[in-house]
């Protein structure tokens, strides 16, 4: 268990290494990787029962990154958690790498589901939680989605399924950064109010600050105490969080920083040169 301060420091290193990977690849998704980092760090370091030495450990908690384009953040968190050497992060998106442009469960240790086609990971996670209910397993499934991703119809089909089965072993976290490739989510196709929609679909909901570790940890604690229904945590985030010239810019959804931009970003995040 890490202190909040330690989690912040880990998140700083995770962000820097995610950006280094994207820079090395010359392509990738920095905006959504930076917005989801604190959500993933807090889950993998303080909440989930996982074992990097034994990624397939029986009874482990599972996480599906349904917004698979944030793979650089997931890989960086997994590396810092001990699943593999952070040096491998520089192979991102390169031929022969285990770190594919979108997560591959068959290649990368710690990845529970191959994702990338939006919405599907959410439904797959519902299936995982249904299986655990049938099997009488007490472990949890976490699924992390984008807010723009909620425009996919399969999300709402699966949300109905989760409520039907009373999946209190399923916790969804929405990375609510209000930006997608074509602009502001509220403008492209509004999904807000996200918490009210999930509540109407039979879920318990909590809203938290997705960049405040204590706020996230408090939300998880409340979520894990809920019985009889699935929980959706709507985590308010900032796309590109921590790098001022990337923050709230849809243009940084899917492009790599230049050498100078990487250097400036690392400096701003508080990393060494």
Assess contact for 32 and 238: CB atoms under 8 A: no
Of 18 and 128, the one with the shorter C-beta distance to other proteins is 128
Q: Distance between CA 138 and CA 266 in Å, rounded?
A: 41
**Least distance (Å) between residue 251 CB and other proteins:** 27
Residue 161 CB, nearest approach to other proteins (Å): 6
- Least distance from C-beta 149 to other proteins, angstroms? 13
Residues of this chain that bind other proteins (CB under 8 A): 105-106, 112-114, 116-117, 120, 123-132, 134-135, 153-154, 157-158, 160-161, 164
Phi first, then psi: give them for residue 151, nearest 5 degrees: -75, -15
Quote the least distance from Cβ 48 to other proteins, whole Å. 16
* Closest to other proteins by CB, 87 or 134: 134
CB 155 within 8 A of CB 119: yes
The DSSP annotation for 144-198 comes to: EEESGGGGSHHHHHHHHHHHHTT-TTEEEEEEE--EETTEEHHHHH----HHHHH
* Calpha distance 100→94 (Å, rounded): 7
């Amino acid at each position: 268990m890490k202190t909040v301060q330690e989690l912040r420091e880990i998140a700083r290193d995770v962000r820097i290494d995610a950006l280094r990977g994207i820079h090395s690849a010359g392509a990738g998704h920095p905006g959504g990787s930076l917005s989801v980092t604190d959500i993933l760090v807090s889950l993998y370091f303080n909440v989930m029962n996982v074992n990097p030495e034994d990624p397939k450990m029986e009874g482990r908690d599972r996480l599906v990154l349904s917004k698979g384009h944030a793979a650089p953040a997931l890989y960086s968190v997994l590396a810092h958690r001990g699943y593999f050497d952070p040096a491998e992060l520089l192979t991102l998106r390169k031929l022969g790498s285990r770190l594919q442009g979108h997560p591959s469960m068959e290649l990368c240790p710690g990845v529970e589901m191959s994702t990338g086609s939006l919405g599907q990971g959410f439904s797959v996670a519902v299936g995982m939680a249904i299986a655990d209910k049938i099997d009488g397993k007490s472990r949890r499934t976490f699924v992390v989605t984008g807010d723009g991703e909620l425009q996919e119809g399969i999300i709402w089909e699966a949300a109905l399924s989760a409520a039907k089965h009373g999946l209190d072993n399923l916790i969804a976290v929405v990375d609510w950064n209000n930006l997608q490739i074509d602009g502001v989510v509220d403008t492209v196709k509004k999904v807000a109010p996200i918490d009210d929609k999930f509540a109407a679909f039979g879920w318990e909901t909590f809203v938290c600050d997705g960049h405040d570790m204590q706020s996230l940890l408090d939300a998880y604690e409340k979520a894990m105490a809920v019985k009889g229904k699935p929980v959706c945590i709507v985590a308010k985030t900032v796309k590109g969080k921590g790098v001022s010239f990337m923050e709230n810019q849809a243009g940084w959804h899917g492009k790599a920083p230049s050498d100078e931009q990487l250097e400036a970003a690392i400096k701003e995040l508080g990393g060494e040169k």
